[in-house]
Structure formats: C-alpha cells, structure tokens
Amino acid sequence: MAVYTHVPAEEMAELLARYGVGALRSFKGIAEGVENSNYLVEAEGARFILTLYEKRVDAGDLPFFLALLDHLADRGLPVPRALKDKDGVQIQTIAGRPACLIEFLEGVSLSHPTPAQARATGEALGRMHGALADFAPERPNTLGLAGWHDLAGRCGTAVDEIAPDFSKRIADELAWLDARWPADLPHSVIHADLFPDNVLMLGDRVTGMIDFYFACSEIRAWDVAVTHSAWAFSSDGRDFDVGVGKALLEGYQAAHPLTDAERAALPVLARGSALRFTLTRTWDWLNTPADALVTRKDPLAFLRRLDFYAQHPECFSA
Ligand SMILES: Nc1ncnc2c1ncn2[C@@H]1O[C@H](COP(=O)(O)OP(=O)(O)O)[C@@H](O)[C@H]1O
Ligand SMILES: N[C@@H](CCOP(=O)(O)O)C(=O)O
C-alpha cells in the first residue's frame, strides 16, 4: 500500500473546491504503487487520482513530467493529464507535499499478461516513442549507469544480508556493463518504468499508460529492455515467458522499428535494466521506514532476471 502522507478530509474538500468539479463524495488511499501517495477521489459525477509526490520525485521536475503527459495526450496516447484549477494551476501543495489532481483512466493492470496483451503494450510503447520524437524538454536520468554505481556504493555490503555475495555480484555486473554499455544509440525521452502495474488494460486494449515519474532522456531502446524485463517474466523472476517476450518486441517493432544496432544491444540493455531494478529494490528493502504503508518489492526477483539475461542473450533473437 503506498500512502506515505495522510490527507485530512477538510483539506481534500478544499482542494476539490479549487477545481470546481463538484463536492467531495469520498476518497481512499490506493493500495498499489511504491513511489508516491495516491488517492482515488470521488466528486459529484467524476473520479480523479490525487498524487502527492514523495521522496524520489523532485518538485523541480514536475513541470517536465506534466508537459510530457500533455504532449502524449495531445497526440492521442492514453495518458492522463494533470488538471488545472480555476486559476490555471496544476501543481498544488497538499499536506505539505507537492500534488496534482490527475484524470482517472479506466482499465486494470495485469498480473499475468498474455502474448496479445504484451503485443498491445509493445505497440503502445512504440507509438509513445514515435510521439516523443518532437518532444523537446529533457531530463537527465539519475538512475542510469552512473546512478547505479552511486546506489551500489550507498547500499554497500548491507546487501549481503539479503543474499550471500550479493555485493560482489553487483560489483561484477557493474564492471561488465561499464565495459559494454552502448555509446551511440538513439536517445529520446523515455518512460523508463513501463511495468504491468503502470499499464491499464481492458481485454487486449491498452487504456492507460501511467506513472511517468522516472521519465528521462536516455537510450531509447533501453525503454524496450526495461519493458521486456518487467513483462516477460513471472513476478518472482523465476520463469521467462518466451511468447510474451516475443509478442512485446513484435508489437514494438510494428509501431516503431528498432535499428539493427538497437536490436543487437538489447541483451546488454536488458542486463542494465535488471540491475537497475535490483538496486532500487535493494535500496528500498534496506531503507523503507517501518511505519510506511507500502509493500516492499523483492530485489531477488530482478537478480533472477539478471541471471537469465546473462545466460540467455539469445532470447532477443528473432
Ligand atoms: N490516471 C489514473 N487512472 C486510474 N488509476 C490510476 C491513475 N494513476 C494511478 N492510478 C492507480 O494508482 C496506482 C498507483 O499509481 P502509480 O502512479 O503507479 O503510483 P506510484 O508512483 O506510487 O508507483 C496504479 O496502480 C493505479 O491503480
Ligand atoms: N517498477 C519498479 C518500482 C517503481 O514502482 P511503480 O509502482 O512506480 O512502478 C519496481 O517494480 O521495482
């Protein structure tokens, strides 16, 4: 459950009044998510998501994220906009935190995607990359290769409490990636966290892509690798689903073909993705406050993916 910040009912009602969307009917904290506090808010006749931005979101980045949402929604992608209040303000302060009232999109996030659903997601990701070709703002990726080194250093040897020799494994993998990380692939703004819980679907149709708060300027194909590592495995990382992985790539290629160089780099990019989520989950595992209403995610589920990608680089072959 991700609710770090409690919003008093009076403050919620006052907030809605600023938008003129009808009186507050009810609101409740949303169980999913780990980064921010999210509430489902019901006004008379409409639903919204209220997001309060927490530790990993820098308030200075919010204009970038909101411009990105508007850009994609303007181009017909199923992406929710942050609403403007009666004074045209998008970013509010609620319970002492920066916050936005966001359009509610229908759909559910999947626990066990089928190949058809993975194909639709790959295609939506490709359409997103196509739509971002003329998006000018940039945001550096603080969770790129340099950021992984930094995070690994901050985790130190405390990670060996999670698994034996874990710190050595991380150091070895960083060295492997340092030697191979591609320097000259196309860059653009990417989502960088398109996990199944950040895609809303009805049947085989993508109805929402949400949670752009890791979006950044990066190697574009890294987004494909991130999405592959998130979708093509059982959640514990023990089982690779060949059909889902293949369908995801086919859907992407149909909307936004990969260059030969991008395709050749996928095995390395995927190891980078697996390490990135291993590290952030490890950090959270060691540092999540005991009283936070949040379910920590298992770092070893991504270490297993890392092992798989290291042993099966051929999984990206056509
Ligand atoms: N625009 C939206 N429309 C409908 N549901 C949403 C929307 N945004 C978030 N949610 C719901 O809130 C949950 C948590 O949102 P998310 O942005 O993933 O949080 P976090 O940033 O904490 O990971 C999602 O899994 C989804 O159920
Ligand atoms: N997707 C990441 C964590 C970020 O959480 P999200 O709820 O914002 O997607 C992971 O699974 O480690």
Q: Is the CB of 102 under 6 A from ligand 1?
A: yes
| Ligand 2 binding pocket mutation candidate from 4, 30, 32, 35 (most atoms within 8 A of CB) | 35
Which of the 8 DSSP states describes residue 144? S
Distances (CA, A) of 162 to 3, 223, 224, 285: 25, 28, 29, 9
- Show the CA angle centred on residue 72, arms to residues 125 and 254, nearest 5°: 30
Closest CA to 281 of 313, 315, 240, 236: 236
**Partners of 202 in beta bridges:** 205
Q: How far apart are CA 279 and CA 266, in angstroms?
A: 20
Q: Which CATH number fits domain 9-103: 3.40.50.300, 3.10.580.10, 3.30.200.20, 3.40.50.12780?
A: 3.30.200.20
Give the pLDDT confidence score for residue 56 in this predicted structure: 79
Residue nearest atom 15 in ligand 1 by C-alpha distance: 33
Nearby residues of 129 by Cβ (< 8 Å), 6 or more positions away: 188, 190, 220, 223, 255, 256
DSSP-derived secondary structure for 99-122: EEEEE----B--SS--HHHHHHHH
- Interface predicted TM-score (ipTM) over 0.85: yes
Stretch 95-112: mean pLDDT? 96
Give the model's confidence band at 299: pLDDT under 50 very low, under 70 low, under 90 confident, else very high: very high
Give pLDDT tens digits for 130-164. 999 999 999 999 999 999 999 999 999 999 999 99
Q: Report the SS3 class of residue 40.
A: strand
290-293, long-range: CB < 8 A, 24+ apart: 292/4, 293/1, 293/2, 293/3, 293/4, 293/29
Question: What is the atom index within ligand 2 of the atom nearest the CA of 197?
Answer: 9
Q: Which CATH number fits domain 115-316: 3.30.70.260, 3.30.1490.20, 3.20.20.10, 3.90.1200.10?
A: 3.90.1200.10
Whether the model clears a pTM of 0.90, i.e. scores above it, the answer is yes
Which of the 8 DSSP states describes residue 44? T
Domain extent listing, the chain: 9-103, 115-316
Give pLDDT tens digits for 248-292. 999 999 999 999 999 999 999 999 999 999 999 999 999 987 776
How far is C-alpha 237 from the geometric centre of its chain's CA atoms? 17
Give the pLDDT confidence score for residue 11 in this predicted structure: 96
pLDDT at 96 over 70: yes
Residue nearest atom 7 in ligand 2 by C-alpha distance: 33
Q: What separation in Å is there between the alpha carbon of 253 and the centre of ligand 2? A: 25
Sort strands 37-43 and 92-94 into parallel, antiparallel or unpaired: unpaired
Q: Which residue has the higher pLDDT, 55 or 25?
A: 25
Residue nearest atom 27 in ligand 1 by C-alpha distance: 32
Q: Is the CB of 18 under 6 A from ligand 2?
A: no
Q: What separation in Å is there between the alpha carbon of 237 and the centre of ligand 1? A: 23
Q: How far apart are CA 67 and CA 172, in angstroms?
A: 39
| Ligand 1 binding pocket mutation candidate from 48, 49, 58, 70 (most atoms within 8 A of CB) | 49
